[in-house]
């Protein structure tokens, strides 16, 4: 299925979402964000892994400033503040579903991931980078802020001070630095990108789905829980696993 520059392919429990605007380095439009939101809403329940990639030389060069981007920003600016805030919400929903507990999402990044492109990679649970990948949070150069979920995910991954530095300077982060900072799960030569993703997806699928869901919920919520709350969450999750493995159900 292809719509608004976004294509969805399905192979059993793996869904692949591909940005298909290689002529503009997969620059993003609001229509693409809404298409991503709809893909998340309509995703079949038996999908376990979602792979997100961009066609061609780059993952995504960010907001399409020569396409629908400026008109969308102008539309938001013209609205009363409360309505303007709500107008951004469906765009955010195109990204935030990639972090939900019932799937594991993997961004496959080659070339540039700029602005909204960087935020799309951050929205995924894991990031496999080619050695030519370059990550840039460039919104500050337009006098704007990241508003597609990128601020929280960036702080979670690299901490406040480093996230602030990356957002304020809009500097490019190489693949090697991304690996050091924890932004990349793995970095491989460009020619090995597909095989590295296939190996990672296979490893994820080899684990029992219910255990993966419990594990993801434990880890994704750990930072916001106190020690006692996290220990309690571990106990409860383990009891659920033991009962299910024993065929006891709820």
Tokens of 147: 């508003």
pLDDT at residue 152, rounded to an integer: 95
pLDDT digits (tens, 9 = 90+) for 41-74: 999 999 999 999 999 999 999 999 887 778 889 9
Pairing of strands 49-54, 14-19: parallel
pLDDT for residue 90 is more than 60? yes
Tokens of 134: 């370059």
pLDDT at residue 172, rounded to an integer: 97
| DSSP assignments along 83-150, one per residue | HHHHHHHHHHHHHHGGG-TT-EEEEEE-SEEETHHHHHHHHSSEEEEETT-EEE--GGGGT----SSH
Mean pLDDT of all residues belonging to the chain: 95
Percent of the chain with pLDDT over 70: 98
pLDDT at residue 4, rounded to an integer: 83
């Amino acid at each position: 299925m292809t719509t608004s520059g976004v294509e969805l392919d399905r192979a059993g429990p793996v869904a692949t979402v591909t940005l298909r605007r290689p002529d503009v380095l997969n620059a993003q439009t609001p229509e693409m964000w809404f298409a991503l939101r709809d893909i998340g809403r309509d995703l079949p329940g038996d999908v376990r892994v979602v792979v997100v990639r961009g066609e061609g030389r780059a993952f995504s060069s960010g907001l399409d400033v020569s396409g629908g981007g400026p008109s969308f920003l102008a539309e938001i600016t013209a609205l009363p503040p409360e309505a303007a805030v709500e107008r951004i919400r469906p765009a955010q929903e195109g990204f935030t579903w990639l972090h939900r507990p019932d799937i594991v999402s993997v961004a496959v990044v080659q070339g540039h991931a700029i602005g909204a492109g960087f935020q799309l990679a951050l929205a995924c649970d894991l990031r496999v980078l080619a050695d030519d990948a370059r990550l840039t949070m460039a919104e500050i150069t337009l006098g704007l802020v990241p508003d597609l979920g990128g601020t929280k995910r960036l702080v979670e991954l690299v901490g406040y001070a480093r996230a602030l530095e990356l957002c304020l300077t809009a500097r490019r982060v190489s693949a090697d630095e991304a690996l050091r900072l924890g932004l990349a799960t793995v970095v491989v030569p460009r020619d090995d990108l597909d095989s590295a993703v296939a190996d990672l997806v296979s490893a994820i699928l080899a684990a029992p789905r219910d255990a993966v869901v419990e594990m993801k919920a434990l880890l994704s919520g750990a930072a916001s829980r106190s020690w006692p709350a996290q220990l309690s969450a571990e106990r409860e999750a383990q009891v659920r696993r033991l009962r299910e493995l024993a065929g006891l159900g709820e």
